[in-house]
Amino acid sequence: MDILWFSINTKGDKNMQEEININKVKNHAKESYDRQSGNYKRKLLYNLLAAIRNNDRNKFLNILFANLNAMSKDGEQKSLADDLMTQYENIQGPRFETYAYAIIAGILASDDDNRAPQKNTREVDKNG
Amino acid sequence: MNEVKEQGTRLQFSGNWLIDAGILGFVNLMEDVYGWDLKSNEWKLPVEDVELQGRFFFAFWYKIISETVEQWLNKDNLKKKAFNMSVKEKIISNVLDILKQNKDQIILKTDFQDIPSVKESILCFNKKCKESICNEFQYYKDALNKKYSQNKKTILENLNSISFIAYSEFFTNLSIFNPSTNKSGNESTILELFSKLVCHYSVRNGSDILDKSMNVFLFSADDFHNIYFGSPPTLKKIEDVYRINPTYVLLSVPWSFIKIQENHFFHTNSLENSYHIHRNLQRYKENLQTNRKLLDITWKVVIDFLVERKSDFSLENLHIIEYSSIDPTKQQIQNVEYLSISKLNATLLLDETMRENLNKTIPCNENRKRIKYVWLTEQLCNERPLTPLIVKHVELFIKKRNNNKGKNVTSTPIYLSLGTSLYALMIDANKQKLSINELHFNHDFFMGYSELVDDIKKDVNYIRYASDAFSKCITDENEQDLYILLATIKGNDRNQYLNLLYRILVTSKEELDRKWVSDYAFKNIIKNKNTWTYYGLALILKAIKTCKKK
């Protein structure tokens, strides 16, 4: 009976851990691309989607890393890169799809550059 | 021992549906004929009570005869020349009036403790019936159709050749209703046989076997497959177990069914519940003319009643026994189905919002230009998945709409029922979630799945927002993409679905809406490998419905 409970719990833990990882990746992707121009992101997303469509993991990561590298090296971009580094082994086969779309969802959820200043002014107002 | 016997003879359900069907039928029969109320004291049923025996004798024959008379009068007895709707109605009402008057008189006169006098009354009633029918049809003698005895005899000729006007689909296997027995002049023999059946349980040549001849739901004695493990039951054994006269019960089975498109018997765990459900449905049936509407309200009646009585437990134990008809030539019962409601489905049906949305018929298939409707509650009770039906429903909707647009032909358009579809999809999705990584007898099972209904409602509300937002992201150019999305769902291709979905979102200019949809897709499709199809389909339904209106 103990063994049975144990096996169920580990399965649950594994799923939970994976969900946390996916959420983390998505959030970091969002933070990385906040305050980037809409057109720039759109172009990137098209390229990434084309790579996922063909299930081409190498191309996907290639485009993404190249892009992250080209951007200024803030903490946020670094954290996404770190995530991908740690999850590199995990992002394979069927899991690749999940992580890749999580990144896409994160990029899409990020704010465009024309919105970001408004947010800042509001914060300044509040503080003031 | 005597005490036990007395207590045991009080009418109550036994748990065996066949016996219970008989008990309900018996109650209905006695109420119809003598107006006994369920709460009255007559329902103590000593096995050897002579008065009750007499009353059952008369009630049974009265019911069979009057039903047969009604059935015969509704046949096309008259040829087209003489046929006139008003003539037919007049004849029917005349005969039925006479029968009612006779019945009341006979019941007043008869002493039910004296079996020979009861037999006399039955004969007298039968004779009166024959006379009144003869009188009504004598005038139209030349215009009568040959509709009886395999289209060889007219109604008058048939009346002359038989002894009792008694025909029952249910008891064609019983020797007393056999055409070879039911010949003119045989009246007293038939009543003698019937008396032996009721008092001495003599079904066939003195044997008291309980098989197909007593009830069409059973096999005939020769066909009992488990003969090596146990012989078919006998009426005596039934009496020992249930402590009631089994013939009263088994001969009353037909009157426990109510015809709503097909014949249904609603079996619950108490006689009172089943009885009231039957009564309520009967009342609705008399008031409503169309059968279609009745089908819709049936569940409302059944479940509302059970909820009113706070008997959740009853709904979980509701069984529905259903048959379409009895084939008289093969003497075989047709399309029998035994439906039961599981604990899980009972939880769903007890919720009002859920019931309202599921208690609908939706068009699903088209066969030879006739649209076939499916009743979702029935499918749910049958433990069938609802999603395939919703997919078919959506496809039919698209097909009909495109047909109408292209050729300008106005075939009847169908309405895509969004709310119903969303609920159906979410029910399937949440049910499937329950089964993943879970044991059957888990915590939820014992708590009556308290969170399931809330989860489904939450999902539906969330989807309403998301699908609203998605339909705003769709332009006329994207319309074709919707059909491709539908195809990817059918093909269970998550990658293609998400790819196309995000392509649509990236091109969309509605920033807020696309974030909503993206968020929804992340939570329910990207992170959810097992049940993504339900959420995927739910997302695009509204867009499919509204895309041509723009």
Q: Give residue limits of the domains in chain A.
A: 29-116
Alpha helices (H) along chain A: 2-33, 38-53, 57-70, 75-86, 94-109, 116-127
Q: Which residue of A has its CA nearest to B507?
A: A42
- Encode pLDDT of B284-305 as tens digits: 888 776 666 666 677 777 777 7
**Contact yes or no for B117/B111 (Cβ under 8 A):** yes
CA–CA separation, B110 and B63 (whole Å): 17
pLDDT of residue B130: 87
Residue B495 contacts A, CB cutoff 8 Å: yes
> CA of B499 to nearest chain A CA: how many angstroms apart?
6
* Record: contact B495-A26, CB cut-off 8 A: no
* Record: contact B518-A94, CB cut-off 8 A: no
CA distances B299 to B284, B302, B316, B430, Å, are 12, 5, 14, 23
What are the tokens at B403?
């047909």
Q: What are the two backbone dihedrals, phi and then psi, of residue B82, each rounded to the nearest 5 degrees?
A: -85, -10
pLDDT of residue B517: 92
CA–CA separation, B473 and B261 (whole Å): 45
pLDDT-derived band at A3 (thresholds 50, 70, 90) equals very low
pLDDT of residue A10: 54
ipTM: 0.81
pLDDT of residue B500: 93
Which residues of chain B make contact with A11, given a CB cutoff of 8 A? 437
> CA of B496 to nearest chain A CA: how many angstroms apart?
7
Out of A111-120, B64-73, B202-211, B217-226, least confident range: A111-120
Alpha helices (H) along B74-186: 85-109, 115-138, 155-161
Residue A16 contacts B, CB cutoff 8 Å: no
Q: Is B12 helix (H, G, I), strand (E, B) or coil?
A: coil
Query: By 3-state DSSP, what share of chain A in percent is helix, strand and coil, each rounded to 5?
Result: 80, 0, 20
Which residues of chain B make contact with A104, given a CB cutoff of 8 A? 498, 502
- Encode pLDDT of B278-288 as tens digits: 888 888 888 77
pLDDT of residue B352: 81
Average pLDDT score over residue span B262-273: 85
CA distances B433 to A116, B427, B530, Å, are 39, 10, 8
Which residues of chain A make contact with B527, given a CB cutoff of 8 A? 19, 22, 98, 102
Neighbouring C-beta atoms of residue B423, cutoff 10 Å: 27
Residue with tokens 């969330």: B462
Q: Which residues does B355 contact at the CB level (< 8 Å), separation at least 6?
A: B299, B300, B303, B349, B377
Provide the angle, in degrees to the nearest 10, between the axes of the packed helices B50-73 and B115-138: 10
**Contact yes or no for B118/B112 (Cβ under 8 A):** yes
Residue B496 contacts A, CB cutoff 8 Å: yes
CA–CA separation, B472 and B456 (whole Å): 24
Evaluate if residue B111 carries a pLDDT over 80: yes
* Record: contact A98-B526, CB cut-off 8 A: yes
Average pLDDT score over residue span B338-350: 80
Nearest to B522 among A26, A42, A46 (CB): A26
Residue B515 contacts A, CB cutoff 8 Å: yes
Average pLDDT score over residue span B220-245: 74
pLDDT of residue A96: 87
* Record: contact B522-A102, CB cut-off 8 A: yes
pLDDT of residue B387: 92
Residue B519 contacts A, CB cutoff 8 Å: yes
Average pLDDT score over residue span B328-344: 78
Best-predicted range by mean pLDDT (A9-18, A100-109, B292-301, B317-326): A100-109
Provide the greatest CA pair distance for chain A.
62
* Record: contact A19-B503, CB cut-off 8 A: no
Q: Is B352 helix (H, G, I), strand (E, B) or coil?
A: helix
Give the global pTM: 0.70
Which residues of chain A make contact with B501, given a CB cutoff of 8 A? none
Evaluate if residue A49 carries a pLDDT over 90: yes
- Based on its alpha-carbon atoms, the radius of gyration of chain B, rounded to whole angstroms, reads 30
Q: Which residues does B416 contact at the CB level (< 8 Å), separation at least 6?
A: B393, B394, B397, B541, B544, B545
Cα B75 from chain centre:
25
Q: Is B176 helix (H, G, I), strand (E, B) or coil?
A: helix
pLDDT of residue B424: 94
CA distances B342 to B135, B350, B381, B421, Å, are 55, 12, 8, 22
* Record: contact A42-B496, CB cut-off 8 A: no
What are the tokens at B325?
């008809």
Average pLDDT score over residue span B510-518: 88
Evaluate if residue B223 carries a pLDDT over 60: yes
CA–CA separation, B258 and B291 (whole Å): 12
- Encode pLDDT of B345-366 as tens digits: 888 888 888 888 888 888 888 8
What are the tokens at A81?
């890169």
For an interface test with A, the pick among B493, B505, B518 (most A C-beta atoms closer than 10 Å) comes out as B518
Evaluate if residue B9 carries a pLDDT over 60: no
Alpha helices (H) along B342-447: 343-350, 352-358, 376-381, 387-407, 418-435, 443-447
Nearest to B515 among A11, A42, A109 (CB): A109
CA–CA separation, B484 and B123 (whole Å): 74
**Contact yes or no for B276/B303 (Cβ under 8 A):** no
Which residues of chain B make contact with A97, given a CB cutoff of 8 A? 494-495, 498
pLDDT of residue B504: 92
Q: Is B227 helix (H, G, I), strand (E, B) or coil?
A: coil
Q: Which residue of B has its CA nearest to A110?
A: B515
Q: Which residue of B has its CA nearest to A10?
A: B437
Strand partners for B337: B322
- Encode pLDDT of B150-198 as tens digits: 777 888 888 888 888 888 888 888 888 887 888 888 888 888 888 888 8
Average pLDDT score over residue span B522-528: 90
CA–CA separation, B201 and B195 (whole Å): 9
Out of B133-147, B220-234, B453-467, B521-535, least confident range: B220-234
Residue A19 contacts B, CB cutoff 8 Å: yes
Average pLDDT score over residue span B120-132: 88
* Record: contact B494-A97, CB cut-off 8 A: yes
Residue A66 contacts B, CB cutoff 8 Å: no
> CA of A71 to nearest chain B CA: how many angstroms apart?
21
Better pLDDT: A122 or A15: A15
* Residue B366 one-letter amino acid: E
For an interface test with A, the pick among B522, B523, B539 (most A C-beta atoms closer than 10 Å) comes out as B522
- Based on its alpha-carbon atoms, the radius of gyration of chain A, rounded to whole angstroms, reads 18
Q: By C-alpha distance, which of A110, A67, A87, A109 is closest to A22? A: A87
Residue A100 contacts B, CB cutoff 8 Å: no
pLDDT of residue B442: 67
Evaluate if residue A15 carries a pLDDT over 80: no
Provide the greatest CA pair distance for chain B.
92
What are the tokens at A33?
């691309």
* Record: contact B529-A94, CB cut-off 8 A: yes
What are the tokens at B61?
């024959």
Evaluate if residue A1 carries a pLDDT over 60: no
- Encode pLDDT of B451-493 as tens digits: 888 999 999 999 999 999 999 888 888 888 999 999 999 999 9
Average pLDDT score over residue span B496-513: 90
CA–CA separation, B9 and B7 (whole Å): 5
CA–CA separation, B523 and A19 (whole Å): 10
> CA of B529 to nearest chain A CA: how many angstroms apart?
9
pLDDT-derived band at B386 (thresholds 50, 70, 90) equals very high
